[in-house]
Amino acid sequence: MQSKAPTVAKYLAALPPDRRAAIEAVRALVRASIDPDVEEGMQYGMISFHIPLRVYPSGYHVGRGVPLPYISLAAQKNGCSLYLMAAGYPDVERILRDGFARAGKRIDLGKSCLRFRTFADLVPDVVAAAIRALPSGEWIRRYEAARAGHAARTESAAKPAAQQKPARLKRAVTTKKSASTRSAPPARKK
């Protein structure tokens, strides 16, 4: 559920007590684990830890003046989510999966979303290690590399038709119609 709260304090105040406790505990963990250059605020209706424009002036690709998201935290309909942009990278995902397995805890991890209901569902040391595994400078480097790769793919897709290889033609498959399924030719006018 996306919030319209303009500040983190108002976002937290609007949460039910059980969700507020979980979000506040994870928020404290994230704040203790991030670089000093990362700032906290609201972005996309969630608590956001982002790379400010003073550190990364290019910002996020969606629009001018939008700070680069790094980590987000949200209360959802059925629990809470910690969006770790770094979790999409195999090295960071491995830290999370191995750490949860060692602790004997089940992990609910999407491409970059770690879902939980209570703070007790998490392994705090492992989450902190995953955050520290991709410091903000490295996140910027990987983000730029991904954007460059996307631009290269977009550029090749936009080649003029004359420069593109011709599409491979598929052979048309024709089937003979039986006499019972053939339609009669249209009647001729006299």
Alpha-carbon gap, residue 175 to 6, rounded angstroms: 64
Lowest mean per-residue pLDDT among 55-69, 112-126, 171-185: 171-185
Residue with the larger pLDDT of the pair 128 and 156: 128
The shares of helix, strand and coil residues in the chain, as percent rounded to the nearest 5, are 40, 15, 45
Alpha-carbon gap, residue 137 to 143, rounded angstroms: 10
| Residue with tokens 């505990």, as numbered in its chain | 25
Nearest to 28 by CA among 122, 162, 134, 158: 122
Domain boundaries, the chain: 8-157
Alpha-carbon gap, residue 103 to 87, rounded angstroms: 18
Alpha-carbon gap, residue 122 to 124, rounded angstroms: 6
What confidence category does residue 147 fall into, taking pLDDT thresholds of 50, 70 and 90?
confident
Across 2-35, b (16+ Cβ under 10 Å) vs e yields ebebeebeebbeebeeebeebbebbbebbeebbb
Max intra-chain CA distance, the chain: 92
Lowest mean per-residue pLDDT among 1-10, 106-115, 157-166: 157-166
Alpha-carbon gap, residue 85 to 134, rounded angstroms: 9
**8 A C-beta contact, residue 147 and residue 94:** no
CATH architecture of 8-157: Alpha-Beta Complex (3.90)
Instruction: Kindly state the average pLDDT of the residues 62-68.
Output: 83
Compute CA 72 distance to the chain's CA centroid, rounded to the nearest angstrom: 10
Q: Looking at the chain, how many residues does it have?
A: 190
Alpha-carbon gap, residue 77 to 104, rounded angstroms: 26
Per-residue pLDDT at 134 exceeds 80: yes
Enter the pTM of the model.
0.75
**8 A C-beta contact, residue 96 and residue 107:** yes
